[in-house]
Chain A
Amino acid sequence: MSVELRSITKSFGSLIANDQINLKVNDGQIHAILGENGAGKSTLMNILFGLLKPDSGEIFVDGKPVKIDEPSDALASGIGMVHQHFMLIPVFTVAENIVLGHEKIKGLGTLDLADARAAIIDIAKRFNFEIDPDAVVETLPVGVQQRVEIIRALIYNAKVIILDEPSAVLTPQETDELLRVMKELRDQGKDIIFITHKLREVQEAADEITIIRRGKVVGQAKPTASQEELASMMVGRPVDLDVSKKKFQPGAEILKVTDLKVTDATARPLVSDINFTIRSGEILAIAGVQGNGQTELARAIMNLEPSVSGSIKLEGLELVGKTVRDSLHSGIAYVPESRELDGLISSFTIAENLILDVFDLAPNAKGMMLDLGFISSNSEKQVKEFDVRTQSVADAVSSLSGGNKQKVVLARELSRPVRLLVAAQPTRGLDVGSIEFVHERILAERDAGRAVLLFSTELDEVIALADRIAVMHKGSIIDIVPSDISRAELGLLMAGVKVKSA
């Protein structure tokens, strides 16, 4: 089956998310759509799947025009979609999730799952993957949950499967498995539309590549193109993918964490047995698949978690049992995982956000009163230094792009006298330009003799920046390794497999 999109245009207010996009996906191919965050990839796919309505443009399936107003229209035309965030009910079994919305009923209104079970097993056999139809979804690893989504698409006879950033939540091994499944599907005649911004995956799996930048198709490429070529097309300027790093010159110990344990309200451990140290001038990266306790560890260091035991010492000063304010003011800069939720107050101006954790300290405040004149002029200075692109510091921070928002957070945190930078997923959702800026800034902090604790799920980022890498799995640090470790070994550690190095 072939799918063609002709001059699709979609705008949200003044933003043109898709501008006259033409795309043809040929039969039996993996077609990658490559672009930065915010380039308009997901918008385009949501249009194809009937979740959004285009302002203009047409969709053709097998050369015939089709009208897709609702996801059900897309399914009827043989188009299925696997979303970035799974649309599964965690407490239901695989089979129950798959029949959702198409339930068959027997006898006195009880659910008939026999057909669904058989169909799932049949599909699993045909496409060569393993799945238990009666497993409860929340007990399954993320990679398997994703497979449930794929099966759901297949069971309703999808000929074209859209995968929206499918590797975002996977370990490297799970990603490899996903790429294998994708190829298997293609070989059995399905078409795959694969949305991503990860170059390695594109090179490995795609048959054709369409690159989208700022809502426009900027070109086609073959998977044989080099990473630099692809990245340059994606960003629109030459990109240097290598981070240039100065020599590692660690100094005195800044942070020492011993036997740290974080529990939730029911005393269930979220994080346990955490031991590590960071020296001045060193970046310790905490790698791991999302949801393995990284968030809680970062929050524990900032005293944002209610029940923490063990010891966190910043230059000898015990932080466990203190307040968030103590953590911040004893010399920790904190870039929280979610800019929008934790890092910024979106209705506040840029200037107001730049004083969020120093609002009551001189010279921002004199006694009870805020010194608005100083705050305003100082924020102008910070905005310039951190290259925040804005008309005015009096604009709401919500008017900024993701990258500029993150720069506001960095400007605030790094303008204080700090000894340690705790950065949680600092480049998540940012464009390539902003990622470069954040990386440079983190390295500059390291070279200025600060200790850096970097939480990242992006393997490339970890390898590029870290001096040492601690891998978290199921709430514990499974190992701390030097940064020249191979990708494969790192991937195994992230999956919880510790290989004794010979």
Chain B
Amino acid sequence: MKKLNASVFILPLLAFFLAILIGGLLIAFSDPNVLKLRSDIPEMLSTGLSTAWEAYVALFQGAIYDPNLAVKGGGQGLYPLSETLVVAGPLILAGLAVALAFRAGLFNIGAQGQFVFGAVGASYIGFTYDLPPVIHIIAAITFGAFLGGIWGGIAGLLKAKTGAHEVIVTIMLNYVAANFLLWLLKTQAFLREGRQDPIAPEVLENSRLPRFFGEEFRVSAAILISVIIAWLVSVLLDRTTLGYQFRAVGSNSTAAKTAGMSVPFVMTSVMVVCGALAGLGGAINVLGAEYALTTGVAGSFGFDAITVALLGRAKPLGVVFSAFLFAGLRVGGQMMQARTDTPLDLILVVQALIILFIAAPSLVKVVFRLKNVGTSSGMAAKGWNG
């Protein structure tokens, strides 16, 4: 029913390149070696350029293909790509949790907490019960998604029944989830035998997602599941009555109400679905890569998810692409830090700049002197009003 508009890709892409460009300047001019050359401007510029170039090369090698590892043979050169895909899987699902909420006019900051509950659920089923293959995976994933759904649903229900703003509620629920995890890992049920530190037992063999290229490469069926779920979300949005209601309420809730739709129902159900998506992300992170629940199991997935959803323009396909991109930045950023002394924080700066440029499309338009590029009416700003 919709025509694909090429121009919707242009703006995020330009925002990304602009952020990389400014990031490059920051790398160059925060480097002490570059700053030392202040008296010799041409030398300083060329050193700065090469510093930034080296950092970005390290970033690429750390994210996709590393020739230094390739000499070991056995496809080791692609180890970074495997790690990027490991991060991309949960990030896609968490990103979808934010993006879908955007489409229904809600700003789900709570993917982090929902992600935590998904990881807790999957981990618990994973190490507690001994179930047959496949069934164990399904049970663990389902329970993770279920807990995530409940956690998201709380925010939706509060918004629907009392008007409590979902931004505030989900932020608070993130704290609750994080501290709940800390407490949980100290309880008897989640304590690993022989360990005092907060780490849960590893999930059993049958509940682990199959890894494609041996145990050395952590890339697993998780990434496939994520991409399939992204496709299902796009089907949900475009082809189902529920998705139609999500979009209707998200675009114009007064008209949706006038047409007889129940806005409270939509708000609650969309947050349940979003919570389940983020929970699924937590589940596959445990079952595919981590195997054991730790305090850091959610990393910053739930927060990066917001950037991913924004850069992906709240569209499932866009989320998939931007999750790959961000996974690469994150994984590669560590290599960049290790090899070139460029702090990992710089990756955060690049992320922040991307959000800034996406949130202020007219800024990008001015920089590139664009006219009439589709901006989809300030998505970042809209979520707040929901």
Contacts and interface: CB of A to CB of B under 8 A. Distances in A.
Contacts of B1: 349, 351-352, 372, 375-376, 394
A16 interface: no
B247 interface: yes
Given A345-B251, A359-B244, A328 B260 contact: yes
A325 to B, nearest CB: 4
Interface string B1-16: 1110000000000000
A225 interface: no
A430 interface: no
A239 interface: no
B333 to A, nearest CB: 36
Nearest to A329: B260
Given A348-B247, A352-B244, A365-B241, A342 B260 contact: no
Interface in B237-260: 239-242, 244-245, 247-248, 251-252, 254-260
Contacts of B262: 323, 325
A400 to B, nearest CB: 15
A96 B252 CA distance: 38
**Interface bracket on A:** 20 to 34
Given A359-B241, A360-B241, A369-B241, A324 B257 contact: yes
Most A Cβ at <10 Å: residue of B3, B241, B245, B254: B241
Given A341-B254, A345-B256, A351-B1, A368 B248 contact: no
A370 interface: yes
Given A304-B257, A323-B260, A325-B260, A345 B239 contact: no
Interface in A354-389: 356-357, 359-360, 365, 368-370, 372, 375-376
Contact of B255 (A328, A356, A372): A356
Given A348-B251, A394-B3, A342 B241 contact: no
Contacts of A365: 241
Q: Which of B240, B244, B259 has the most CB of A within 10 A?
A: B259
Contacts of A327: 260
B244 A372 contact: no
For B240, B242, B258, the residue with the greatest tally of chain A CB atoms inside 10 Å of its CB is B258
B258 A336 contact: yes
A328 B259 CA distance: 8
A373 to B, nearest CB: 10
A328 B240 CA distance: 21
A295 interface: no
Contacts of A341: 252, 254-255
Contacts of A356: 248, 255-256, 259
Contacts, number: 74
A368 B248 CA distance: 16
A434 interface: no
Interface in A443-483: none
B269 to A, nearest CB: 12
B2 A394 contact: yes
Contact of A357 (B2, B240, B260): B260
Nearest to A353: B255
A369 B239 contact: yes
A344 interface: yes
B247 to A, nearest CB: 7
A345 B240 CA distance: 18
A5 to B, nearest CB: 29
Nearest to A367: B241
A128 to B, nearest CB: 45
A333 to B, nearest CB: 12
A376 B239 CA distance: 13
B242 A348 contact: no
Interface in B254-288: 254-262
Interface in A276-290: none
Given A328-B260, A351-B1, A376-B1, A342 B244 contact: no
Contacts of B255: 341-345, 356
Nearest to A324: B260
Interface in B1-40: 1-3
Nearest to B372: A13
Interface in A298-355: 302, 304, 323-325, 327-329, 334, 336, 341-349, 351-352
Contacts of A369: 239-241
B378 to A, nearest CB: 13
The interface centre, meaning the residue of A302, A370, A372 with most chain B CB atoms within 10 A of its CB, is A370
Contact of B241 (A323, A348, A352, A368): A368
B260 A345 contact: no
A500 B262 CA distance: 47
A365 B243 CA distance: 12
Given A347-B251, A370-B241, A302 B3 contact: no
A348 B261 CA distance: 16
Contacts of B245: 359
A349 B3 CA distance: 10
B244 A370 contact: yes
A327 B247 CA distance: 23
A78 B239 CA distance: 60
Nearest to A356: B259
A345 B244 contact: no
A347 B252 CA distance: 9
A175 to B, nearest CB: 31
B262 to A, nearest CB: 8
Nearest to B243: A370
A302 B244 CA distance: 22
Contacts of A375: 1
B259 A357 contact: yes
Interface string A109-142: 0000000000000000000000000000000000
Interface of B: 1-3, 239-242, 244-245, 247-248, 251-252, 254-262, 377
10 contacts: A334-B258, A342-B254, A344-B255, A345-B251, A347-B251, A348-B251, A351-B1, A370-B239, A394-B1, A394-B2
Given A328-B259, A356-B256, 16 more contacts: A302-B258, A324-B258, A324-B260, A327-B260, A328-B260, A334-B258, A341-B255, A342-B255, A345-B252, A346-B252, A352-B244, A356-B255, A357-B259, A368-B241, A370-B244, A372-B1
